[in-house]
Amino acid sequence: MREIPVRTKIIYTVSVCLITLLLWLGNEGSSPLVYSGSELQHSVGQIDSEYSLVVQESVAVNGVVAGTPEYILNRGSYTISLNYTAQETDSVLELWQQGRKIAAWTIDPGNVQMNADFTLSKDAQQLQIRINYSGRGALTIKELTLRPHTMFYSDSFFMIAVFLLCSLFVWIYFIKGKSSLSREQVVDYSVILGVALLATTPMMQTYLYNGDDLCYHLARLEGLKDGILDGQIPVNILPEGLQGNGYLNAMYPYLFLYIGAFLRILRVSLGLSYKTLIFLANLGTAVSAYAAVKSMCRSRRSVMLAVVLYTLMPYRFTNIFSRGDLGETLALIFWPLIIAGLYHVILGDTKRWYYLVVGLSGVLQSHILSAAFAAAICVITALVYCVRIVRDRRYIVIGRAAGWFLLLNIWYLVPFVYYYFKGNLSTDVLRWSGYFEQSVNLSNFTQSISLYNKQYFSLGLAILGCVGIAVIRFVCEKNGSRTREDGYLLYLFVLGCLMAYMTTGYFPSRALLSSTLFKNIATMIQFPWRFLGPACACFVVVGAVALAKSDTLKPYRNHIFAMLVGINLLVVISVPADNSHMPYDNAEAAASKGHESKLAANIGLFYPYEWRLDGATEDRLTSSVVLSDVNRISVSDYVRKGTASSVTYTADLDGGYMELPIQNYPGYRAYDENGSRIKIEQGEAGRMRFALTGDGKQHIIRVRYGYILPFMAANAVSALTIGCIIFRLWRRAAQQGKIRRAL
């Protein structure tokens, strides 16, 4: 590598400093959140010429008349400022969290401005400021401002840190000439990074696309952060979920969500934490497609075609922006590795059996239904190639892969199985009865993506181009040129066609629903369009490899590559830019609009009904202690911090009981003031119930979620397995280093 001129180094250093300064100047984490009266959510009142909200006594309404969206705020101190005019007393400025009022300040008609300070001892979910109107006299709300004493979030500092790390990497490996990468590798990796950034561009807005399931995944990110701060690793209970009752986390894979959770601990906003996770998912998808196809094909053209087509395929964009399905988006990262892994353990290089382990582990740690699909495809593939597996003794390497997969993932599998069979969980809502009605119209397969229609799914023209390449390879070319690799590609092609067919209304799913077995499987899958993900992966791999092997298409490979890549780039362009979400309406609203996305005010948090305890519906949840007899049982103190709670009570009756607002998932333990174990019984709406000592004396009950012995053993096994892998990789790298030094 040639020496970089000193002038270039100086320009580079100055550019880095300038961009860092601009990022720092763009910090709005400490800027106030400002609402005019007209911008507040309101149900009554009129807007005057100064954009104030005017509530007259003639509306004959008292109660909450205006409020902010619900915010996710970091712990710390804040000040609320309200500019107003009021004619009568008793109107109140209130602070609510998760549907509970936590503070209130009287609006004095003798003043026109009030400041109210409050402190959050822990991060708040669904925090809202409300204005409660007394119903008497006129009340004019001019402006409401929320100011942090420190900052709302650290997004700019996070971006500065990422930029400086990337700049340092470029300096060390390229400007200082320390890189051992070839020119081809630099180009390949640059394309991978560029495709990942291109796939993320629709996210580079000051708002979040509100997909169907986005609110749930934001709740998972926030809950994981709370669980880590609670001392749980792994996090099995989201302590602030369900109004502080706790929500079971072990049933939905969450390994990769730790990235966003740790960013939240660093006070990065929830919005940017989620967007960072999506970028990493895009990058991981590109890397996975690159590694998988490169292991099966020597053509760089085909490898890069797979990277572009798979990363930018319409179904991924539908999952990210329309459905908000983070789990399936993460699972799609690993499908190419599963396809390549199956090829290597059955037909290819057995030394690459780890592709299958990484692929299956990644899918399992992302999305349970995708893991079930992957397991089914592995079984089908083993049956198709059973003769070859036995003849070539491939079952040995398959067993090795299965063993490593189990050891790596037992930390997650043990809690999942334990809670599934012993947790008394509500699982009825997991089954979707309208399976047939969710079928995809076949004509949609040829169209571009459209995020305005929530039920829009497509293979896309570029992937259909891969289907055409496969047809030419398998139908139009002589059988004499076929290899065993072609046989595997033909198998993948047929498998992809079957899965694509099963998503359409032409598949007789309605007739098959009369079968109990099919109905159980179909309602568990919920939506037939889930087959699109693995189908697209099959088509992309087959098309990319077949393009390199096809003699008929050899003179046109460059043209086909350019055409398919160009068509697929339209997927990004077709993601609509919503003009109603312009970054800033005016200079005064700049901070407010920026905060809207970063504090997730326009999304909210939601905990689904699956994996709750039976009976724990929203209307039956409570944040207060429930007593069997309020006249003869008194509670003098109830404190909850994470999954730890303490309650002090006095009772003067026999047979009395108390229910704590904590979901009674297995793993909780309770002790009295003497440290003796207390039995936890099942109460109403999933709450934990305790029989009380009715001697008229003061007693204490302490509750804490503790580690279960099988969980700890499983964690130790997986940790030792990871340690063994790291040691083997380190030793191999050390040996290769010695060989290079000797040469």
Q: According to the model, what pLDDT value does residue 606 have?
A: 83
Beta bridge partners of 689: 659, 681
Report the 10 Å Cβ neighbour count for 94: 17
Question: Mean pLDDT over residues 442-464, rounded?
Answer: 71
**CA–CA gap between residue 231 and residue 237 (Å, rounded):** 11
* Distance of alpha carbon 143 from alpha carbon 122, whole angstroms: 27
CB contact set of 18 (below 8 Å; sequence gap of 6+):
none
Threshold 0.75, pTM exceeds: yes
Judge whether residue 661 has pLDDT over 60: yes
Among 289, 387, 386, which residue's Cα sits nearest to residue 336?
A: 289
The pair of structure tokens assigned to 333 is 């990262």
Does position 67 have pLDDT exceeding 50, yes or no?
Answer: yes
So what's the pLDDT on residue 170?
87
Q: Provide mean pLDDT across the span 671-698.
A: 92
Instruction: Give the model's pLDDT for residue 177.
Output: 67
Per-residue pLDDT averaged across 199-205, rounded?
A: 83
- Read off φ and ψ for residue 678, nearest 5 degrees: -115, 140
> Which whole number is the average pLDDT over 356-381?
95
Pick from 300-309, 571-580, 730-739 the range whose average pLDDT is largest: 300-309
578 has a pLDDT exceeding 50: no
Average pLDDT of the segment spanning 536-562: 93
Arithmetic mean of pLDDT, 331-350: 95
CA 218 vs. chain centroid, Å, equals 7
What mean pLDDT do residues 100-109 have?
A: 92
Q: What is the mean pLDDT of residues 467-481?
A: 84
What lies within 8 Å, CB to CB, of 694 at 6+ separation is: 632, 651, 652, 653, 654, 655, 656
**What is the mean predicted confidence (pLDDT) over 320-334?**
92
pLDDT score, position 456:
61
pLDDT of residue 513: 82
Rounded to an integer, the average pLDDT of 546-551 is 91
Q: 357: pLDDT confidence band, cut at 50, 70 and 90?
A: very high
Return the H-helix or E-strand segment holding 725.
Answer: helix 709-742
Q: Is the pLDDT of residue 698 over 50?
A: yes
pLDDT tier at 390 (50, 70, 90 boundaries)?
A: very high
pLDDT at 99: 80
Band the pLDDT of 450: cuts 50, 70, 90: low
What pLDDT, in 10s, does the model give residues 498-539? 999 999 888 888 888 888 888 888 888 888 889 999 999 999
Predicted confidence band of residue 125 (pLDDT cuts 50, 70, 90): confident
Q: Note the pLDDT of residue 602.
A: 64
Output the pLDDT for position 96.
Answer: 93
Tell me: pLDDT of 146 over 80: yes
* Interacting residues of 135 by C-beta distance below 8 A, sequence separation 6+: 57, 60, 61, 62, 63
pLDDT band at 587 (very low <50, low <70, confident <90, very high): very low
Position 1, amino acid: M
H/E/C letters for each residue in 447-463? CCCCCCCCCCCCCCHHH
Average per-residue pLDDT in the chain?
88
pLDDT of the residue at 581 = 45
In terms of Cα–Cα distance, which of 557, 69, 116 is closest to 302?
557
pLDDT, position 580: 45
Give me the mean pLDDT over the 291-313 stretch: 94
Residue 164 buriedness (CB in 10 A; 0-12 / 13-18 / 19+):
middle
283 has a pLDDT exceeding 50 = yes
Mean pLDDT for 644-663 is: 93
Say what percent of the chain tops pLDDT 90: 58
Over 80: is that where the pLDDT of 683 sits? yes
pLDDT of amino acid 93:
95
User: Which of the following CATH numbers is that of domain 618-705: 1.10.287, 2.60.40, 1.10.3470, 1.25.40?
Assistant: 2.60.40
Q: Per-residue confidence at 736, pLDDT binned at 50, 70, 90?
A: confident
* Residue 582 tokens, joined: 């312009």
* Angle, vertex CA 122, rays to CA 118 and CA 127, nearest 5: 60
Mean pLDDT of 326-338: 96
pLDDT tens by residue, 619-632 = 889 889 999 999 99
Q: What is the pLDDT of residue 521?
A: 83
Residues 87/138, Cβ–Cβ less than 8 Å: yes
Residue 631 CB coordination number (10 Å): 8
- Selecting from 2.60.120.260, 1.10.1760.20, 3.40.50.720, 2.60.40.10, what CATH number does the domain 33-148 have? 2.60.120.260
Sequence-separated (6 or more) residues with CB below 8 Å from residue 227: 235, 236, 237, 238, 239, 249, 261, 642
Distance CA 138, CA 54 (A): 7
Residue 480 confidence class, pLDDT cut points 50, 70, 90: low
| Residue 678 in this model has a pLDDT that exceeds 70 | yes
How many CB atoms sit inside 10 A of residue 738's CB? 10
Any idea which of 229-243, 367-381, 586-600 has the lowest mean pLDDT?
A: 586-600
Range 712-725 average pLDDT: 95
- The domain ranges of the chain are 1-30+156-180, 33-148, 181-581, 618-705
Take residue 612 and report the two structure tokens written for it: 């709750």
Q: What is the DSSP letter of 624?
A: S
Alpha carbon separation from 353 to 285, 350, 387, 705, 721 (Å, rounded): 20, 6, 19, 39, 16
Confidence bin at 250 (pLDDT 50/70/90): very high
Task: For 195-230, give the DSSP string.
Answer: HHHHHHGGG-SSS----TTHHHHHHHHHHHHHHHHT
What is the structure's pLDDT at 434?
Answer: 67
Range scoring the smallest mean pLDDT among 99-113, 334-348, 425-439? 425-439
Q: What's the average model confidence in pLDDT over 554-583?
A: 74
Q: What's the pLDDT band for 432 if we cut at 50, 70, 90?
A: low
3-class secondary-structure state, position 425? strand
Which of 37-46, 167-176, 205-214, 429-438 has the weakest average pLDDT? 429-438
Q: CA geometry: angle at 673 spanning 668 and 678, to 5°?
A: 40
